[in-house]
Amino acid sequence: EVRLVESGGALVQPGGSLRLSCAASGFTFSNYWMGWVRQAPGIGLEWVANMKQDGSEKHYVDSVEGRFTISRDNAKNSLYLQMNSLRAEDSALYYCARDLISASCCYGMDVWGQGTTVTVSS
Amino acid sequence: DIQMTQSPSSVSASVGDRVTITCRASQDISTLLAWYQQKPGKAPKLLIYTASSLQSGVPSRFSGSGSGTDFTLTISSLQPEDFATYYCQHSKSFPLTFGGGTKVEIK
């Protein structure tokens, strides 16, 4: 079964840091672009970042550029999101997602995790 | 950045109705558009990619069309399980922005 499982969400104070993880299984992780999408409570979807299979390309939404870093460990079938200088507006459910077509970007995200919740509050 | 505008923001419809949702891009995105369905408490589900290609396992009552800046998602005969929120997303360039969503509600 193709599966993504996120972890690492927590309550953190403004200015704090957090590292999200996404464990992949059931497919050849190293063949796919992977990304993060977030959703604030009651709000729509926001694409956050994605990354090429070999890590040679990384892209971010402007609002997190310079604060968040996407990374991956293909040997561990894992995707990460290091989040620094967190703000209240970063509070959301963070989804890990896989790009549809192996070795290609970006046709849509066909596999999603269940999400992990980040709350930034004092 | 390319902005994606969906309309309407919500629609009330009955089972069996034909429902059409529109997504407009702020610039030409060719056919680099995907549609997703999201139900409460669940992750989004990919329905359509490259504007009109039906994702595997998605019922044929869903269809997508359009190119350039104007796109539509059509549900030909609304079923009870289709009541959800629908999002478009472009992939022409980074950032890969989503539309604001369209909630399909029971009439």
pLDDT tens for each residue of B3-55: 999 999 999 999 999 999 999 999 999 999 999 999 999 999 999 999 999 99
B36–A contact, CB cutoff 8 A: yes
The whole-number pLDDT of residue B52 equals: 98
Q: What pLDDT, on a 0 to 100 scale, did the predictor assign at position B106?
A: 87
Tell me which chain B residue has its CA closest to the CA of residue A44. B100
Shortest CB distance from B44 goes to which of A50, A60, A112? A112
- Spatial distance between the Cα atoms of A10 and A23, rounded to a whole number of angstroms: 17
A49's CB contacts (< 8 A; 6+ apart) are A35, A36, A58, A59, A60, A61, A64, A68, A70, A81
Contacts of B9 in chain A (CB under 8 A): none
| Tokens 């089972």, located at residue | B15
Nearest CA in chain A to B42: A114
pLDDT of residue A30: 97
Using CB atoms, which residue from B36, B89, B95 is nearest to A62?
B95
Q: Which residues of A touch B (CB under 8 A)?
A: 37, 44-47, 50, 59-62, 95, 100, 105-110, 112-115
Query: What per-residue confidence (pLDDT) applies to A103?
Result: 86
Q: What is the mean pLDDT of chain B?
A: 97
Residue B107's pLDDT is what? 86
Spell out, as residue ranges, where chain A has pLDDT lower than 50: none
Nearest residue of chain A to residue B47 (CA atoms): A110
Whether chain A has a CB inside 8 Å of the CB on B64: the answer is: no
**A–B CB contacts, 8 A cutoff, strictly below:** 60
A60 — phi, psi (to 5°)?
A: -135, 150
